[in-house]
Amino acid sequence: MNKPERPEIFNKAGDLLKRAADAGGSALKSVGDASEAAWNRATDAPDEAGKRRKTLIILGSGIAAIIVVLFVVSRLGGDGAVHTPVSTAQAVSVITVAPRGVTPTISLNGEARPVRDIQVSAPTSGVRVLEILVDEGDTVRAGQAMARLDTNVAEAQIQSAQASVAEAESSAIRARGEYERAESIRDSGALSAEAIEQRRAAAVAADARLAAARAQAREVNARLGGGYVRAPAAGLVIDRAAEVGRNVDGQVLFRIAADNRLEVAAQIAEADALALEVGQTAQFTLVDGSTVEGRLRRGPASIDSRTRTGEALFSLPAGTRVRAGMYLRGVAHLTERSVPAIPQSSVLYDDGQAYVYVVGDNNIVRRTEVQLGARDGDYIEIISGLDLGQRVVGAGAAFLQDGEEVRAIATEAAAAPAATAPVPPEQNLRGREG
């Protein structure tokens, strides 16, 4: 039979128990003697009063005995007592860095706008609007009249152009006739060759002036559009600035969303710009909670030097409830990949720099700066700063100091998926840490 390695512990424990028994016995004997004397005095009293006094004596004696025993035991031990050391290390959960399959998400915020925003102005200036023929929300076809202008001025300009054409025609006929008559008598010598050439040049110049007058007449007629402002393309009227009676002086009167096609101009963080691919889909949420799917038409062409963001264009399908000018929030899901990841609760920040506490073999923690990547639910990708297999502090990291000793109460692998219900998409933390 094996002997205990430290028999002195049992010897001290035996002495302690013996002393407690002796002291407790003496205390109980004293309490018993006092109780007996009180009991004898109580028996000399009348019956009813004696019974009540006996009851009180019994209860008081019991309580006194308990108090005495507890006091004696608490005073025992002294220098020979056995003390058990208590650890002062903070209890924390420990996470092991391991690969995890994550599906990074990119947050998208932007305004819906027309793919082709056509601004329609009056074909001329100095005329008044007499009638509005379309309003915001109307669908127009190419060439459709949108407003009627003051036709008196328009007709006067057209008539002026037609008069110029008629005058040019008359001059051309006269010049051509003079040249033909001069050419017919060339052989007779009545006119010199120089005079004949002058008449030929005058006829050519008259023909040129006629052509210019006719072109100007066509321009005036086309520019005035018969006295109407016409739609240059089919689409949806999204804005109207024209008012009846207002003079037109080159300002924009209507805006048309060509073919009623809209897109979302979403602002993308610089770190996410290269992760997007043309044709990639994204889900956008309207103010009423409904969603619409967009498809990336063009990634950021440049990055703003102040905001470090770029503009990505997502085309929206036709017939949605989205209206031009709406502000939409969305998310794009990237391709799933396996990366080192840890819970977000393990990451702390100091002046924008992310860091974690790495637990060493001696349970001493060391502050380690890390570079973060994409977030996926409650986990975040570690780009640099940690190696697979290292242990980091989970819950309780915010109360630690560099070099402090800890006591691990739980250890888990960061790659293990949580055994709870899936987190709703709206609770996911999207985007990247810059």
Q: Which two tokens stand for residue 251?
A: 């300002």
Pairing mode, if any, of strands 252-258 and 353-359? unpaired
Check: pTM over 0.95? Answer yes or no: no
Q: How far apart are the first and last CA of the chain?
A: 67
- Cβ proximity of 391 and 356 under 8 Å: no
Pairing mode, if any, of strands 391-393 and 90-96? antiparallel
pLDDT at 192: 75
pLDDT at 361: 84
The CA distance from 401 to 396, in Å, is 11
Residues (pLDDT < 70) of the chain are 1-62, 64-65, 68-87, 151, 153-155, 157, 189, 222-226, 410-434
Q: Which two tokens stand for residue 386?
A: 């940690």
The CA distance from 223 to 66, in Å, is 113
The CA distance from 242 to 225, in Å, is 17
pLDDT at 114: 94
Q: Which two tokens stand for residue 372?
A: 């973060």
Cα 260 to chain centroid distance, Å, stands at 27
- Cβ proximity of 281 and 293 under 8 Å: yes
The CA distance from 106 to 294, in Å, is 14
The CA distance from 350 to 369, in Å, is 10
Q: Which residue has the tokens 């009545």?
A: 190
Backbone φ and ψ of 146, nearest 5°:
-110, -30
- Cβ proximity of 378 and 343 under 8 Å: yes
Q: Where are the alpha helices (DSSP H) in 76-192?
A: 151-184
Which sign does the torsion angle of CA 255, 258, 259, 262 carry? negative
- Cβ proximity of 92 and 400 under 8 Å: yes
- Cβ proximity of 386 and 97 under 8 Å: yes
The CA distance from 152 to 158, in Å, is 10
Question: pLDDT of 187-227, one tens digit each?
Answer: 776 777 777 777 777 878 878 888 888 887 777 776 666 67
Please give the DSSP secondary-structure letter assigned to residue 364. B
Helix (H, G, I), strand (E, B) or coil at 366: strand
pLDDT at 151: 67
pLDDT at 313: 94
